[in-house]
Structure 1
Amino acid sequence: MAALKEKRNCGQRCEDFGRFVWNSDEGKLLGRTPEKWVYISLYYVAFYVVMTSLFCLAIWTLMYTLDPYAPDYQDRLKSPGVMVWPDTYGEEIVEISYNTSDKSSWMKMTNILNEFLEPYNDTKQLECNKHNCTRGKYFIQDTFSAPNHTKWACPFTQSMLGACSGHEDPTFGYNCTMPCVIIKMNRIISFLPSNNTEHPAYVNCTVLEGQHNVDKIEYFPEGGSMDLSYFPYYGRLAQPTYINPLVAVRFSLVNGKKAKIQCRVVSKIISYENYHDPYEGKVIFQLEAVK
């Protein structure tokens, strides 16, 4: 029978560990001579230098092949989303509900619209964007002719929203039963909303529920059209001063003063029946004025 291994006490173990850290007889530090430590250190330094260089080269190659002005893959965005302001969301859809007798209630809606329209200030827009855009024609730009290697954008001013601009009526109709909502189509780079350059896309609103509660629907600009001169959009880097064209819709509420409304951007190439994306090409919201 093999002899049992001698049990070592704590002092002997500490002595063994100290000898491992520095063995004066063989001149070894942590099991290796200083010469071997130099060799292995140089090996790992060279290894990580090469790996870091390869990683940096891969990143540089990737960035060199990317276009900074447009994403490579846009296949998921076939039709733009549509949003409505005031953007007061309920459990399922936007619920624009206010009390004409409660100033704080309708002022909430007014403040949301005023904040949203700040970038559309007439003076600001005419200062930073191109003035001589051709209405009814796509603004195609093949070169970066604007300052700082950018492209021009056509101005869309708040006053173009007419009676819903907040200039004539600072309350946007929320102190009575003629509220204004603003429809915005989201941006897609290089997207052209219409195949026919003579007929721009336009907003059309229909009452899904409570038809007898809506007496009249008005659009600003006239006809609810989104002029072709605001398209295509070339991206935030290429067009830093670009803002979306808007359509304001004013509803005259009567009787029960409550309705469920769908507003969609009408164009043959903009779909709106996608079950999985309820905001593609359209937006549905509840509009209610209580007293």
Structure 2
Amino acid sequence: MATLKEKRTCGQRCEDFGRFVWNSDNGTLMGRTPEKWVYISLYYAAFYVVMTSLFSLAIWVLMYTLDPYAPDYQDRLLSPGVMVWPDKYGEEHVEITYNSSDKHSWTKMSSCLDTFLKPYKDDKQTECDNCTKGTYFFQKHFTTPNNTKKSCSFPRSLLGPCSGLHDSTFGYNCTMPCLIIKMNRIIGFLPSSNNKSQIHVNCTVLSGKENVKKIEYYPDKGIMDRSYFPYYGNLAQPHYLNPLVAVRVDLVGKQQAKLQCRVVADKISYQNFHEPYEGKVDFTLTNLGNH
């Protein structure tokens, strides 16, 4: 029958640990002689110095070869996405719903648009440059302070009655609400190679045509001028402002309609089933106020 292992006391265990830390019989510290501890310390010091140097060199080479103003590889859409404001959307689809008879409802919409347009105030664009309309604004060199490039101004007044300068309600207290269409930015993107055609926004009624009396565009014809392209990135153009198009819809009847607004240009696609916001935006506009 196996004998039970003798249980060691706490004092014996402490004595064994002390002998492990320093064994005076063979002169070892934690199982190694001081000479071996020097060798292994030098080895690991050299190892980590080499590894740190290689890692630092790799980071330096990577940063040296990267362009700080434009990504080497882009995984974004080939065509820009399109958004609509006010961005008070529904849960599943883009549903812009308001009540022209409820001040709280239409104030929420107008406040959203006013906040969105604050960067477009004239006093906010003191460093923007007035560009030649109708032509792309190519810039090979950094001509402004802080190593940046110029940006074309977009005065809020171009949005006409949808600028909020004369009507702070943006039409949401009646049946002619304003919507703002914005195309997302893509560095170096040129929307059109055809100089004869204008880059513009066009809205069509998908359902509820009888509820839409007319659609108005600001600037005229919904044009997005070429002078706002190409975009060189936020670092190169910190004061860049997206060109906007305001759409004013005259709702009648049941005061509900589903619309599609798309940016029309030969390099902008809008039929990608897997990217519903590429080149276009579909939304439902509903006024719950008194008919």
Question: For this structure pair, what is the TM-score category when the shorter chain's length is used for normalisation?
Answer: over 0.9
With over 3 angstroms needed to count, the CA separation of the structure-2 counterparts of 1:18 and 1:256, relative to structure 1, is same
Alpha-carbon distance between aligned partners in 2 of 1:229 and 1:72, rounded to the nearest angstrom: 25
1:198 matched residue in structure 2: 196
Q: CA deviation at 1:5?
A: 10
2:156 matched residue in structure 1: 158
**TM-score for both structures, normalised by structure 2:** 0.95
Cα pair 1:83 1:185 within 8 Å, conserved: yes
2:115 matched residue in structure 1: 115
Alpha-carbon distance between aligned partners in 1 of 2:82 and 2:249, rounded to the nearest angstrom: 19
Query: After TM superposition, which residue ranges in structure 1, 4 or more long, deviate above 6 angstroms?
Result: 3-6
Secondary structure class of the residue paired with 2:26: coil
Cα pair 1:193 1:200 within 8 Å, conserved: no
Secondary structure class of the residue paired with 1:148: helix
Code of the residue aligned with 2:48 in structure 1: it is: Y
Q: CA deviation at 1:110?
A: 0.4
Cα pair 1:197 1:228 within 8 Å, conserved: no
Unaligned runs of 5+ in 2: none
2:36 matched residue in structure 1: 36
1:184 matched residue in structure 2: 182
Alpha-carbon distance between aligned partners in 2 of 1:6 and 1:212, rounded to the nearest angstrom: 96
Cα pair 1:215 1:252 within 8 Å, conserved: yes
Match of 2:215 among 217, 228, 242: 217
Cα pair 2:77 2:278 within 8 Å, conserved: no
Code of the residue aligned with 2:44 in structure 1: it is: Y
Q: For 1:27-106, what aligned pairs fall within 5 Å after superposition?
A: 27-74=27-74, 76-106=76-106
Cα pair 2:200 2:223 within 8 Å, conserved: yes
Worse overlay, 37-46 or 109-118: 37-46
Secondary structure class of the residue paired with 2:104: helix
Q: CA deviation at 1:193?
A: 0.6
Q: CA deviation at 1:54?
A: 0.4
1:172 matched residue in structure 2: 170
Aligned residues: 287
Alpha-carbon distance between aligned partners in 2 of 1:143 and 1:188, rounded to the nearest angstrom: 19
1:272 matched residue in structure 2: 270
Secondary structure class of the residue paired with 2:261: strand
**TM-score for both structures, normalised by structure 1:** 0.95
Unaligned runs of 5+ in 1: none
Q: CA deviation at 1:33?
A: 1.6
Alpha-carbon distance between aligned partners in 2 of 1:109 and 1:211, rounded to the nearest angstrom: 23
Code of the residue aligned with 1:120 in structure 2: it is: Y
Q: For 1:227-242, what aligned pairs fall within 5 Å after superposition?
A: 227-242=225-240
Q: CA deviation at 1:76?
A: 3.9
Alpha-carbon distance between aligned partners in 1 of 2:169 and 2:13, rounded to the nearest angstrom: 85
**% identity of equivalent residues:** 68
Alpha-carbon distance between aligned partners in 2 of 1:252 and 1:185, rounded to the nearest angstrom: 23
Alpha-carbon distance between aligned partners in 2 of 1:210 and 1:285, rounded to the nearest angstrom: 12
Code of the residue aligned with 1:123 in structure 2: it is: D
Alpha-carbon distance between aligned partners in 2 of 1:268 and 1:197, rounded to the nearest angstrom: 11
Over aligned residues, Cα RMSD in angstroms?
1.5
Code of the residue aligned with 1:147 in structure 2: it is: P
